[in-house]
Amino acid sequence: MKKRPIGKNILYVILIVYAVITLVPFLWALSSSFKSLGEIVSGSINFIPKNFTIDNYREIFTREPLFGRWLFNSLFIAVIGTFLNLIFNSMAGYALARLSFPGKKSIFIIILAVLMIPFQVTLIPNFLILKEFGWLNTYQGMIIPGAVNATFIFMMRQFFINFPKEVEEAAAIDGLGKFGTFFRMVLPLAKPALAAQTIFVFMAFWNDFMRPLIILSDESMFTLPLGLNSFKGQFISFWNYIMAASMVFTLPILILYAFFNRYFVKGIKFTGEK
Amino acid sequence: MVKGNSSKKSRREAGQGYLFMAPVLIILGIFVIAPILCAIYLSFHKVELLGGTHLEFRGLDNFLKITFDDRAHIALKNTVLYVVIVVPLQTLLALVLAASLNAGMKGQKFFRIVYFLPTLTSSAVLTLIFMWMYNQNGLINHILHMLHLPTYNWIGDPSVALLAIMIMNIWATAPFFMVIYLAALQDIPDSHYEAAELDGATGLQKFWHITVPNLRPVTSFVVIMGLIGTFQLFDQSYIFSGGSGGPNNSTLTVVLLIYQYAFKSLGTMGYATALAFMLAIIILIATLLQRKFSKEESLY
C-alpha cells in the first residue's frame, strides 16, 4: 500500500483468479443440482438455472430409498469414530508426555514407525481379521480399527509436553487421581488441540472411500461415498441427481468447518512442530 | 517428585500409564502390528478365500511375478508419472498462493475460506463434480471451445484421462498445503523483510531470498506428505474408471491394482500383498531421496 501498488495489484489478480478457479466447480455443481434434466442435457452453460427447481433433492430420497440410511451410516460412524479418537489419542498422548512407565520409549518409537507404514500394507490382513471377527458389514468393523490414530497421538503428546504442570499439581492437592485429573482438569484445557483433531478425524471418516469399499458390501451399510458411487452407476446420465446428492453430502462438513474454523491454522501448526 | 521415591508409587503410576495406553495398544496391536506381520506371511503365500482361508507356500514367487506382470508395469508407470507431475506443481502452487495471501492483502480471511473448500470436500464428491465438468458436452470443453482451444473426451480418451485426474487433484490438494505454508510464513520475523526493504529489494526478490529459504523445512514436509499421498492415488482413479483403471489402463494406479488383485480376482491376494510391500518400499525410498536431496533437517 505504501510503495509498488503494481505488485499488490498483480497479487490481487492471482488471488481473485484462483478464487474463481476454486469456486467454479462448486457453483457449477450447485447450479446443476437446481436444474431439470432437460436443461442439464441441453448443454448450455448458464450458471443461473432457467427453471429453478428443488425436485432433484426430493427425488434422490425417493428414487434411492437408502439415501437417508447412507447419510445416517456416515454420520454415525464419523461421530462415534471421532469421539473415540479424541479420547484414546489424548489419553495415550498424555501418558507418553506425563506418566512414567516401563517400555514407554519403545511404545513411542513403535507409534512413530506406524506413521511410516502405508495403509495398503495392512489393508488386506485387516480385511481377513475383520472377516474372522465377523465384523464385515458392521459399524464396529468401520469404527474400531480407525479409533486411534498415530499422527494425533504424536500431536497430543507434543501438546501435553508443553502443558503447564500447575494444573495437575493443583488437582493432586485436591485429591484427584490421575484419571480424574485427566478427564476433569486437563482435557477441558486441551480444547484447541482437540478442535483441530476433530475436523481432521471427522473428515477422514466422512470422506473415506477405500476402507468402506472393502469392508462394506451390503448396500444398507454403505456410507455416503460408496452410496454416491453406486448412485452414479445407477443414474449415470442423471447428473442433476448426482450433483444434488453431492451437495447433500458436502453440507455437514461445511457446517463443522464453520464451527471450528478459528482453530484451524493454529491446529495445523501442531503437525509441523517438533 | 524424587525418582525412586517409593516403589509402590511408581508401580501405581506405571499401572495408570498402561491403563491410559490400553485402548491404543490393543487397537494398534490387532489392526496394525498384527496385520504387518500377517502381511509379511501372506506375501510368501498363495491365498484362497473359498469357504475358509487356504494358504499355500510359494516362496518369493509373488515378488518375482511383479517383474513380468504387464499391468503392474503400467500401474507403476502411471503412478510415477502422476507423482512426478503432481507433487512439484501442487507444492509450487501452494507456495505461491500462501505467499500472495500473506502479503498483507485485504480479504485474507475470505480467500482462505474459499481456497479451503476443496480440502473439505470428499474425494468422491470432487471426482463426480469433475466428471460432470469433464463431460464431452460439459463445462470444461465449453470453456476450451470459447477460448478456441482443442476440446477432449477427458474421461474416454486414454491419452488425457490421467491428465484429467492430475488437474483435478492439483486443484484439490494445493490449498491444503497452502494452509501449512501460511502457518509457517507467520513465523518468519518481519525484521527480515524490513531489512531487505531498506536494501531496496523488490517483492519478487524478497520472495526468492527470504521467503523461500525460510520455508525450506516446511517445503520438505510438504513434499514428503505430497509424495506419500500421490503414490497412494486410488479413489479418483476408481471412481473415474468405475474400478477398471480404464480406458485402456490409462488410469490404473498401483493401489487400484492392489485392490483388484486382492478383492476382484481369486487366488491373487498374496500377490496383492507383495505389491503393497513394493509400494511401501518405493514410498520409503522416495522419501529418503527427498530428504537427502534437500539436505535439510525435515520436520517430520
The interface pTM score, or ipTM, of the predicted complex is 0.87
Residues of chain A with confidence (pLDDT) below 70: 1-5, 262-274
Q: Could you give the 3-state DSSP secondary structure of residue B176?
A: helix
Cβ proximity of B46 and B56 under 8 Å: yes
Question: Chain A residue with minimal CA distance to B218?
Answer: A272
Q: Which residues of A touch B118 (CB under 8 A)?
A: 22
Q: Which amino acid is at B147?
A: L
Instruction: Spell out which residues of chain B touch residue A45, defining contact as CB-CB under 8 Å.
Output: 139, 142-143
Joined together, the cell numbers standing for residue B292 give 537427502
Long-range Cβ contacts of A172-180 (<8 Å, 24+ apart)? A177/B16, A178/A99, A178/B13, A178/B16, A178/B20, A179/B16, A179/B19
Q: What is the mean pLDDT of residues B27-52?
A: 90
- CB B240, CB B155: distance < 8 Å: yes
pLDDT of B4 higher than 70 = no
Task: Give B214→chain A minimum CA distance, Å.
Answer: 14
Which residue of chain B is at minimal alpha-carbon distance from A253? B120
Decide if B92 touches A, using CB distance below 8 A: no
pLDDT of residue A243: 93
Interval B272-292 mean pLDDT: 91
DSSP element (H, E) containing B230: helix B216-231
A/B interface, count of CB pairs below 8 Å? 266
CA distance B246 to B248: 5
Q: Could A117 and B28 be called an inter-chain contact, meaning their C-beta atoms sit closer than 8 Å?
A: no
Query: Does the beta carbon of B193 lie under 8 angstroms from any beta carbon of chain A?
Result: no
Rounded Cα distance, B75 and B249, in Å: 8
Taking contacts as CB-CB distances below 8 angstroms, the residues of chain B near A153 are 24
Q: For residues B16 and A99, is the Cβ–Cβ distance under 8 A?
A: yes
pLDDT value at position B86? Answer: 97
User: In chain B, what residues touch A129 (CB-CB under 8 Å)?
Assistant: 30-31, 34-35, 38
pLDDT digit string (tens) for B156-191?
999 999 999 999 999 999 998 998 898 888 888 888
Q: Between chains, do B28 and A114 touch, taking CB under 8 Å as contact? A: yes
What mean pLDDT comes out for the span B9-23?
89
Question: Across the interface, which of A87, A246, A253 has its CB nearest the CB of B128?
Answer: A246
Are B24 and A148 in contact (CB < 8 Å)? yes
Sort B193 into a burial class: Cβ within 10 Å, 0-12 / 13-18 / 19+. middle
- The pLDDT of residue A113 is 87
Cell numbers given for A153:
497421538
Q: What is the pLDDT of residues B80-106, one digit of tens each?
A: 999 999 999 999 999 999 988 888 778
Share of chain B above pLDDT 90, in %: 56
pLDDT reading at B280 higher than 50: yes
pLDDT digits (tens, 9 = 90+) for A145-166: 999 999 899 989 988 988 888 8
Q: Which of A23, A232, A272 sits opposite B128 (nearest CB)?
A: A232
Please indicate if any CB of chain A lies within 8 Å of the CB of B124: yes
Which of B227, B241, B237, B280 has its CA nearest to residue B80? B227
Better pLDDT: B227 or A114: B227
| Cross-chain Cβ contact A118/B280 below 8 Å | yes
3-state secondary structure of B57: strand
Pairing of strands B54-57, B45-48: antiparallel
Asked if the Cβ–Cβ distance from B105 to A26 is below 8 Å, we say no
Residue closest to B17 by CA, chosen among A127, A26, A23, A95? A95
Q: Which residues of A233-251 are buried (b: 16+ CB within 10 A; e: fewer)?
A: eebeebbbbbbbbbbbbbe
Q: Please indicate whether, in this complex, the C-beta atoms of B115 and A19 are within 8 angstroms of each other.
A: yes
- Mutation pick from A6, A121, A126, A266 vs chain B, by most beta carbons of B within 10 Å, is A121
Is the pLDDT score of B289 beyond 50?
A: yes
Counting beta carbons within 10 angstroms of the beta carbon of residue B217, is it exposed (0 to 12), middle (13 to 18) or buried (19 or more)? middle
Quick one: pLDDT at residue A4?
A: 52
What is the domain partition of chain B in residue ranges? 7-42, 63-294
Going by the DSSP 8-state scheme, the letter that residue A263 receives in this structure is G
The minimal CB distance from A129 to the residues B10, B35, B103 is found for B35
The model's pLDDT over A85-108, given as tens digits with 9 standing for 90+, comes to 999 999 999 999 988 899 999 999
How many whole angstroms separate alpha carbon A205 and alpha carbon A53?
Answer: 32
- Residue of A6, A15, A20 to mutate, testing the B interface (most B Cβ within 10 Å of its Cβ): A15
Mean pLDDT rounded to a whole number for chain B: 89
> Quick one: pLDDT at residue A2?
46
Rounded Cα distance between B185 and B179, Å, is: 10
Q: By the 8 A CB rule, do B290 and B220 touch?
A: yes
Asked if A225's CB is within 8 angstroms of B280's CB, the reply is no
The reply to whether residue A14 touches residue B101, judged by beta carbons under 8 angstroms, is: no
Grid cell digits, residue A74: 456416515
Contacts of B111 in chain A (CB under 8 A): 15, 19
- Rounded CA-CA distance B199/B181 in Å is 26
Shortest alpha-carbon distance between residue B294 and chain A (Å): 17
Residue B83, chain A, CB below 8 Å: the answer is no
Distance from CA of A254 to the nearest CA of B (A): 7
Which residue among A32, A45, A99 sits closest to B16, beta carbon to beta carbon? A99
| pLDDT mean over B46-61 | 83
Q: Does domain B63-294 have CATH number 1.10.3720.10?
A: yes
Backbone angles phi, psi at B138, to 5 degrees: -95, -175
pLDDT(B204) > 90? no
Distance CA B298, CA B221 (A): 6
